């Protein structure tokens, strides 16, 4: 071919890309965004990636090889061929000692790694340089493959590697609050991914991409259906569909679990009761478990929400939570399954203070649960508020494995349109010291099992995933899925490091991009707390959908459903007295914690109104009155929302157009709604405090009646 023709062909290719349009940058790729690295990095990486040598055969090893092929093709801009043996320098060798004689011969001491752990090491084999990705288990190899790709995605050298890692928690689960009609409770990302109508026949390729994304961060289980559960999921027609998903997820190390409706023996089994001590009920569950395991041999187990918010449970039959959990545990035990029993209880009778209820119900049951039961406890004692102190059960059940439930979807943090990176919030609770066994008894040490030597450990994240093209409803909510997975793998990781890692993988490695984005993310959670519920305020959202402010709501049937119950603002002051002079729920914490939280002087300001009813004119440490400080905080949140918008606008030249525009539009919504929150909340609180706005702080744009009249009946996620 003459040179001219070659150049012409080159130009044509550049222009037309052979008629294959480039994939739009719409966020579908998530953090598995394998765009080609800069030429200088290509040169650095090339010698260490000349071939992919998979030794041994299994679906999981094949998935690891396929991911490396796909990832390296994108990142390095060329195909890295698969090979049976390493015949030159630069091979990437993957396998286990069982599958690979080569790895067996390297004496890597893989037995030190626990389940799912892996090791990536630069070695020399028969005089040839190579990189091994080795593990005692196939799934560890897959995790290692994703790690190697992440190293390249974040522009770290790969020529002298010696990286080893083991997940610190055993069960790293997503909880999908997905209904059988594909609606998603508290879902802001479209419909459920699970297209039950078309399963089991239609195996949407998206199911595989879901599994890839989860495996890349070490998530190893998914509860497929809502905790407000429908017994039909346990009928044969649906179990066949569940099994189809399990088959797709299996190579990626993801086991399926189901939320079990406690009265399923009545709802679909034809029994007259669901009493956990009734032999017929016990037999029904055993048979049901056997049926499930015949279809899904690695079925993970059941998640149960019982006697809470109207769900049936053992108390309906005069039994307690341990009776209920143990019956189910007995049914799945022969198959190696577990039962996750939620501690989020919320009885039909009004408690004195819901913040103490779970503690009071569960603490006395410590030691009564079968070994394959884990009690699943939300991060805080109320319900996924923008900020909560840690749940007092952590540290209080030394004989019962506790796993932590976090809400990745942002029910109370602005849905999908508000940018709020939850890493710092989760880090805060994991770092909190329970003082259960003296100083340093952090929540992280409770849930990683090291404090009480738990037989099982785990974390559950309420998923923010739906069929929106970007998966999470917004580009930045992908970071919460990512951060949740990373913290479930290792609760000691720093939120900032995770944010930086995610930013590099998702947006790019240009420091002029990474720094501002990480900065936005790290300040974003506090901004939402400030413009929604500063200083320990909580549960002030509008009724039902929880979209927008509703601090004035006082007409719901139960006292503890009403925002006024939680803020208790009056002419004199504001805040929920949870000290000895009030509900005394502070006493559920260890003494060192209780005395700090219970002291008006020593309580951290961010929890002030969570634990104390405080006069409007009370002077805070900074010198301002509480009333003035509230105005300052609300206003600061709005300013921060504006600042994020400006930061993002300046990044336009460095971000692909479609994703940039989407985030810009969402930040505009956030700024509007931050103002709405501030103005509506302050208009209402001022009607009680009767105090003026400090100079230089604008009063609300409208009067209180205006805000009270706003109705948004079609807000999503209900």
Judged by CB under 8 A, does residue 706 bind a second copy? no
Q: Which is nearer to a second copy, 263 or 625 (CB)?
A: 263
Judged by CB under 8 A, does residue 191 bind a second copy? yes
Q: Which is nearer to a second copy, 6 or 600 (CB)?
A: 6
Distance CA 413, CA 674 (A): 11
Whether 371 and 365 have beta carbons less than 8 Å apart is answered as no
The enclosing H or E element of 165 equals strand 162-165
Question: 644 Cβ partners below 8 Å, 6+ apart?
Answer: 419, 520, 523, 524, 527, 667, 670
Q: Which is nearer to a second copy, 42 or 347 (CB)?
A: 42
Distance CA 68, CA 516 (A): 30
Stretch that binds a second copy, among 196-204, 502-510, 602-610, 619-627 (CB under 8 A): 196-204
Judged by CB under 8 A, does residue 414 bind a second copy? no
CA-based torsion, 175, 181, 186, 192: positive or negative: positive
In the bound complex, what is the minimum distance in angstroms from residue 138's beta carbon to a second copy?
A: 26
C-alpha 650: how far from its chain's center?
Answer: 29
Stretch that binds a second copy, among 362-370, 442-450, 630-638, 708-716 (CB under 8 A): 708-716
SS3 state of residue 343: coil
Q: Which of 570, 542, 572 lies closest to 555, judged by CA?
A: 542
Judged by CB under 8 A, does residue 696 bind a second copy? no
Instruction: Report how many residues bind a second copy under the rule CB under 8 A.
Output: 61
In the bound complex, what is the minimum distance in angstroms from residue 610's beta carbon to a second copy?
A: 30
Whether 410 and 188 have beta carbons less than 8 Å apart is answered as yes
Judged by CB under 8 A, does residue 18 bind a second copy? yes
SS3 state of residue 478: helix
Judged by CB under 8 A, does residue 155 bind a second copy? no
Distance CA 269, CA 288 (A): 10
- DSSP letters, 499-526, are HHHHHHHHT-S-HHHHHHHHHHHHHHHH
CB atoms within 10 A of CB 621: 8
Q: Which is nearer to a second copy, 467 or 647 (CB)?
A: 467
In the bound complex, what is the minimum distance in angstroms from residue 201's beta carbon to a second copy?
A: 5
383 catalytic? Reply is: yes
Judged by CB under 8 A, does residue 112 bind a second copy? no
Distance CA 384, CA 539 (A): 9
Q: Which of 466, 480, 498, 476 lies closest to 418, judged by CA?
A: 476
Distance CA 713, CA 186 (A): 14
Judged by CB under 8 A, does residue 14 bind a second copy? yes
Strand residues in 290-401 grouped as ranges (E): 301-304, 338-342, 373-378
Residue with tokens 């805070």: 620
Q: Which is nearer to a second copy, 17 or 287 (CB)?
A: 17
Distance CA 339, CA 336 (A): 10
Which residues, numbered 166-185, are part of the site for a second copy (CB under 8 A)?
180-182
Q: DSSP state, 113?
A: S
Distance CA 76, CA 66 (A): 15
Q: Which is nearer to a second copy, 7 or 115 (CB)?
A: 7
- Considering only 43, 47, 79, 240, the residue that binds a second copy (CB under 8 A) is 79
Q: Which is nearer to a second copy, 29 or 629 (CB)?
A: 29
Judged by CB under 8 A, does residue 3 bind a second copy? yes
Judged by CB under 8 A, does residue 21 bind a second copy? yes
Judged by CB under 8 A, does residue 39 bind a second copy? no
- Considering only 201, 571, 602, 690, the residue that binds a second copy (CB under 8 A) is 201
Judged by CB under 8 A, does residue 643 bind a second copy? no
Which residues, numbered 214-233, are part of the site for a second copy (CB under 8 A)?
232
Q: Which of 537, 458, 472, 557 lies closest to 506, judged by CA?
A: 472
- Considering only 78, 112, 558, 619, the residue that binds a second copy (CB under 8 A) is 78
Stretch that binds a second copy, among 34-42, 114-122, 449-457, 579-587 (CB under 8 A): 34-42
Q: Which is nearer to a second copy, 10 or 698 (CB)?
A: 10
The enclosing H or E element of 172 equals strand 171-175
Please provide the size of the chain in residues.
718
Stretch that binds a second copy, among 68-76, 309-317, 362-370, 640-648 (CB under 8 A): 68-76
- Considering only 44, 121, 155, 203, the residue that binds a second copy (CB under 8 A) is 203
Distance CA 379, CA 330 (A): 28
In the bound complex, what is the minimum distance in angstroms from residue 295's beta carbon to a second copy?
A: 19
- DSSP letters, 73-109, are HHHHSS---EESS--STTEEEEE-TTT-HHHHTT---
Cis peptide before 200 (omega within 30 of 0): yes
In the bound complex, what is the minimum distance in angstroms from residue 6's beta carbon to a second copy?
A: 5
Torsion of CA 479, 484, 488, 491, to 10 degrees: 80
Catalytic residue among 383, 431, 490, 662: 383
Whether 256 and 299 have beta carbons less than 8 Å apart is answered as yes
Query: Distance between terminal CA atoms of the chain?
Result: 64
Judged by CB under 8 A, does residue 658 bind a second copy? yes
CA-based torsion, 316, 376, 431, 541: positive or negative: negative
Which residues, numbered 673-692, are part of the site for a second copy (CB under 8 A)?
none
Q: Which of 607, 610, 619, 602 lies closest to 577, judged by CA?
A: 610
Q: Which of 486, 392, 488 lies closest to 441, judged by CA?
A: 392
Judged by CB under 8 A, does residue 4 bind a second copy? no
Q: Which of 73, 52, 48 lies closest to 128, judged by CA?
A: 48
Whether 120 and 133 have beta carbons less than 8 Å apart is answered as yes
**Six token digits for residue 518:** 């990480």
Judged by CB under 8 A, does residue 662 bind a second copy? yes
Site string for a second copy, 344-373 (x = CB under 8 A): ------------------------------
Judged by CB under 8 A, does residue 270 bind a second copy? no
Distance CA 527, CA 505 (A): 25
Stretch that binds a second copy, among 17-25, 168-176, 221-229, 496-504 (CB under 8 A): 17-25
629 catalytic? Reply is: no
Q: DSSP state, 18?
A: G
Q: Which is nearer to a second copy, 11 or 649 (CB)?
A: 11
- Considering only 16, 336, 438, 694, the residue that binds a second copy (CB under 8 A) is 16
Judged by CB under 8 A, does residue 273 bind a second copy? no
- Considering only 417, 503, 579, 583, the residue that binds a second copy (CB under 8 A) is 417
- Considering only 468, 501, 628, 629, the residue that binds a second copy (CB under 8 A) is 468
Whether 529 and 677 have beta carbons less than 8 Å apart is answered as no
Catalytic residue among 411, 448, 501, 577: 411
- Considering only 240, 272, 646, 665, the residue that binds a second copy (CB under 8 A) is 665
Stretch that binds a second copy, among 76-84, 453-461, 510-518, 582-590 (CB under 8 A): 76-84
Judged by CB under 8 A, does residue 512 bind a second copy? no
CB atoms within 10 A of CB 705: 8
- Considering only 24, 82, 580, 649, the residue that binds a second copy (CB under 8 A) is 24
In the bound complex, what is the minimum distance in angstroms from residue 209's beta carbon to a second copy?
A: 10
309 catalytic? Reply is: yes
Q: Which is nearer to a second copy, 154 or 467 (CB)?
A: 467
Catalytic residue among 309, 348, 515, 703: 309
Q: Which is nearer to a second copy, 3 or 571 (CB)?
A: 3
Stretch that binds a second copy, among 30-38, 95-103, 491-499, 639-647 (CB under 8 A): 30-38
Residues assigned a catalytic role? 309, 383, 411
Note the residues at the interface with a second copy (CB under 8 A): 3, 6-7, 9-24, 29, 34-37, 73-79, 180-182, 190-191, 196-198, 201-203, 205, 232, 415, 417, 467-469, 658, 661-662, 665-666, 668-669, 672, 713-716
């Amino acid at each position: 071919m003459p040179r001219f023709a070659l150049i012409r062909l080159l130009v044509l290719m550049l222009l037309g890309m052979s008629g294959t349009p480039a994939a739009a940058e719409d966020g579908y790729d998530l953090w598995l965004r394998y765009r080609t690295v800069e030429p200088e990095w290509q040169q650095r990486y090339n010698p260490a990636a000349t071939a992919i040598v998979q030794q041994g055969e299994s679906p999981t090893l094949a998935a690891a090889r396929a991911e490396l092929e796909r990832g390296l093709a994108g990142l390095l801009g060329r195909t890295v061929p698969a090979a049976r043996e390493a015949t030159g320098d630069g091979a990437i060798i993957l396998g286990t000692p069982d599958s690979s004689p080569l790895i067996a011969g390297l004496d890597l001491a893989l037995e030190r790694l626990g389940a799912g752990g892996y090791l990536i090491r630069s070695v020399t084999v028969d005089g040839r340089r190579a990189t091994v990705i080795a593990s005692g288990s196939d799934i560890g190899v897959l995790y290692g493959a994703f790690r190697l790709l992440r190293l390249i995605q974040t522009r770290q050298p790969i020529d002298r590697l010696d990286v080893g890692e083991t997940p610190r928690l055993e069960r790293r689960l997503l909880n999908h609050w997905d209904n059988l009609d594909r609606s998603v409770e508290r879902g802001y990302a479209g419909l459920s991914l699970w297209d039950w109508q078309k399963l089991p026949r239609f195996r949407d390729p998206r199911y595989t991409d879901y599994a890839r994304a989860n495996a890349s961060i070490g998530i190893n289980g998914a509860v497929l259906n809502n905790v407000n559960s429908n017994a039909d999921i346990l009928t044969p027609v649906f179990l066949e569909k569940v099994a189809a998903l399990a088959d797709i997820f299996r190579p990626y190390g993801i086991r399926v679990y189901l939320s079990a409706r406690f009265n399923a023996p009545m709802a679909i089994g034809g029994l007259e009761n669901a009493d956990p001590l009734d032999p017929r009920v016990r037999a029904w569950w055993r048979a049901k478990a056997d049926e499930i395991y015949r279809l899904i041999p690695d079925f993970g187990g059941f998640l149960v929400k019982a006697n809470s918010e109207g769900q049936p449970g053992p108390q309906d039959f005069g039994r307690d939570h341990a009776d209920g959990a143990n019956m189910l545990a007995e049914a799945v035990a022969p198959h190696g399954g577990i039962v996750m029993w939620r501690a989020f209880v919320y009885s039909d009778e009004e408690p004195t203070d819901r913040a103490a209820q779970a503690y009071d119900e569960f603490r006395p049951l410590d030691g009564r649960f079968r070994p394959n039961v884990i009690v699943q406890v939300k991060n805080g004692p109320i319900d996924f508020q923008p900020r909560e102190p840690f749940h007092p059960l952590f540290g209080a059940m030394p004989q019962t494995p506790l796993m932590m439930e976090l809400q990745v979807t942002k029910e109370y943090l602005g849905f999908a349109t508000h940018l709020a990176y939850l890493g710092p919030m989760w880090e805060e609770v994991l770092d909190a010291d329970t003082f259960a066994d003296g100083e340093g008894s952090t929540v992280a040490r409770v849930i990683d099992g090291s404090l009480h030597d738990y037989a099982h450990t785990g974390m559950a994240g309420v998923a923010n995933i739906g069929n929106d093209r970007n998966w999470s409803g917004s580009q930045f909510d992908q970071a919460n899925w990512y951060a949740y997975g990373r913290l479930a793998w290792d609760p000691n990781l720093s939120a900032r490091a995770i944010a930086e890692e995610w930013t590099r993988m998702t947006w790019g490695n240009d420091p002029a991009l990474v720094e501002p984005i990480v900065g936005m993310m790290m300040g974003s959670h506090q901004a939402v707390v400030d413009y929604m519920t500063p200083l320990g305020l909580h549960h002030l959202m509008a009724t039902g959908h929880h979209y927008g402010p509703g601090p004035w709501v006082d007409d719901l049937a139960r006292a503890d459903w009403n925002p006024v119950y939680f803020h208790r603002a009056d002419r004199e002051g504001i805040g929920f007295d949870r000290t000895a002079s009030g509900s005394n729920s502070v006493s559920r914490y260890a003494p060192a914690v209780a005395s700090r939280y219970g002291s008006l002087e020593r309580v951290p300001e961010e929890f002030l109104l969570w634990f104390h009813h405080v006069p409007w004119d009370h002077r805070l440490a900074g010198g301002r009155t509480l009333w003035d400080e509230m105005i300052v905080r609300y206003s600061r949140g709005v300013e921060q929302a504006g600042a994020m918008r400006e930061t993002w606008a300046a990044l336009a030249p460095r971000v692909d157009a479609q994703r940039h525009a989407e985030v810009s539009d969402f930040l505009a919504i956030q700024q509007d709604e931050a103002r709405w929150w501030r103005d509506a909340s302050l208009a209402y609180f001022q009607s009680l405090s009767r105090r003026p706005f400090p100079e230089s702080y604008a009063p609300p744009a409208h009067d209180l009646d205006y805000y009270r009249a706003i109705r948004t009946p079609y807000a999503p996620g209900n």
